[in-house]
């Protein structure tokens, strides 16, 4: 039965590698999702700061972030430039991303 033990070992190693690759892929998707939410929230805040849309800039950023399933951790305004940091809880881990939007310099 040495062949059976080898087969079980190979199946176990293959399953472990597949699970590790799935976790890495999931983390990559979550990172892109958080970055995208930060970009959209910063754009919404900058639009509100410039008067292009109504509302308070950081409230607009929070609304857009919530739509993407994230939450705003920080929202700073420097005249018309908005810097927004959003977070996404992934089990015991938290993924964060920051984005800045406003008129060109």
Q: Residues 22-61: pLDDT tens digits?
A: 888 888 888 899 999 999 999 999 999 999 999 999 999 9
The pLDDT value recorded for residue 87 is 96
DSSP 104: -
Residue boundaries of the structural domains of the chain: 2-101
Q: Is the dihedral of CA 65, 70, 75, 78 positive or negative?
A: negative
What is residue 1's three-state secondary structure?
A: coil
Which uninterrupted H or E stretch holds 51?
Answer: none
Spatial CB neighbours of 40, under 8 Å, sequence gap ≥ 6: 64, 65, 68
The residues with which 33 forms a beta bridge, in sequence order, are none
pLDDT at 1 over 80: no
């Amino acid at each position: 039965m040495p062949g059976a033990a080898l087969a079980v070992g190979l199946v176990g190693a293959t399953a472990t590698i597949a699970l590790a690759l799935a976790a890495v892929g999931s983390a990559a998707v979550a990172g892109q999702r958080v970055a995208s939410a930060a970009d959209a929230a910063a754009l919404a805040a900058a639009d509100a700061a410039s008067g292009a849309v109504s509302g308070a800039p950081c409230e607009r950023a929070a609304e857009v972030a919530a739509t993407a399933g994230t939450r705003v951790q920080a929202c700073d305004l420097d005249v018309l430039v908005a810097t927004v940091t959003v977070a996404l809880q992934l089990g015991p881990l938290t993924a964060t991303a920051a984005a800045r939007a406003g008129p060109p310099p």
